[in-house]
Structure 1
């Protein structure tokens, strides 16, 4: 397999496309709710619109806060991120109650790339249980040599097609699009953090394990 390397402009453009895709739905719902408020006099419809705006704004904010750490610089010049902040933004993604998150990690500062990898693996874990279920995140070890274990349990659990090749940087198509950029980016971050990622499917359970590459 040939390793695919994106230049900085292509990578940034694809990541921007991914973030826009994640927030366009709740932002669109906010616009729809505002239009209802402008046009409707019915009290019930206005209450519905206000509730839609409230929920959609919360969802958009949660997705942007997540992206700020998972894909961005987290607004800080520092080289570490608090795992408590990572847990907070991760929990913000699970507002539909279809998927639950259990998080076990020390309250500690970890190197930025390790935390970014962990959050990107949370995104991938959600794709392994399309009908919802439980995602358990466990972080062990010190910041210099941590181990991340994410377990997804749910009906019809599966390892998404091409995700392992994308993380390895060797997509079968020989290219990366906006749909595949997130696991591809997770692989870039894993290598920058000196970690390797593996997947195991056992019945209705998918386990994602990230550990130091030299382990």
Structure 2
């Protein structure tokens, strides 16, 4: 990934921020629309519709922000550990607004923060593989300080997004932008953790693994 070697920390942070903002714009915009309906409509039915929209969108925005804070944010000082129970809570909250169900099969432990961030970013990637909905299973093998992650995305017509498999395997992406930055960020996290990533598809299942690099 020669292009990534030239990617400055400022450029990376700007692209990640752009990605997070993109995810938040929709529910925040829906809240704004709901407030406008409350201001303009006198109908009780429309006011109730607007309040339902505001409540739902506020929960969605909150879930996305909490997930992004843990998946992309600092989440404590260098060397900090994160409770996997907290990671499960934010991942479950995030997936409640998605088409797929989350099957979290990871026991509660304290884990180095970058490993937790890696796991959450792998969930984002798995979710992209079942755009029509399905189930995402999350498993961990080994000790919390040196784990292997196994994620499976199963659903109707699952797919591996264009270029995703190559990016995760370490090939240089065709372009580095806000659209592609999340898998790139995931690869950088894996490198920081001394792990390698792989991705494969068999029939109705996409499998993603992260394990210690050879």
TM-score by length of 2: 0.95
Matched, 1:139 2:140: yes
Distance 1:95 1:101 in 2: 8
Deviation of residue 163 (structure 1)? 1.1
Deviations 1:170-193 (A, max 9, x none): 3342x3010000000000000001
SS of the counterpart of 1:135? strand
For 1:97 and 1:203, locate their aligned partners in 2 and report how far apart those are by CA, in whole Å: 22
Q: Distance in 2 between matches of 1:24 and 1:98?
A: 19
Greater shift in the superposed pair: 164-173 or 137-146: 164-173
Q: How does 1:50-89 map to 2 (within 5 A)?
A: 50-74=51-75, 76-77=76-77, 79-89=80-90
Match for residue 190 of structure 1? Answer: 190
TM-score by length of 1: 0.94
What is the correspondence of 1:84-95 to structure 2 with a 5 Å cutoff? 84-95=85-96
**Could you report, residue by residue, the CA deviation over 1:7-28 in whole angstroms, capped at 9, with x for unpaired residues?**
0111011000000000000000
Contact 1:162–1:171 (Cα < 8 Å) also in 2:
no
Structure 1 contact 17–178 (Cα < 8 Å) conserved: yes
Stretches of structure 1 lacking an aligned partner (at least 5 in a row): none
1:195 positional shift: 0.8
SS of the aligned residue for 1:101 comes to strand
Distance 1:188 1:97, change over 3 A: closer
Aligned residues: CA RMSD: 1.4
Matches within 5 A, 1:200-215: 200-214=200-214
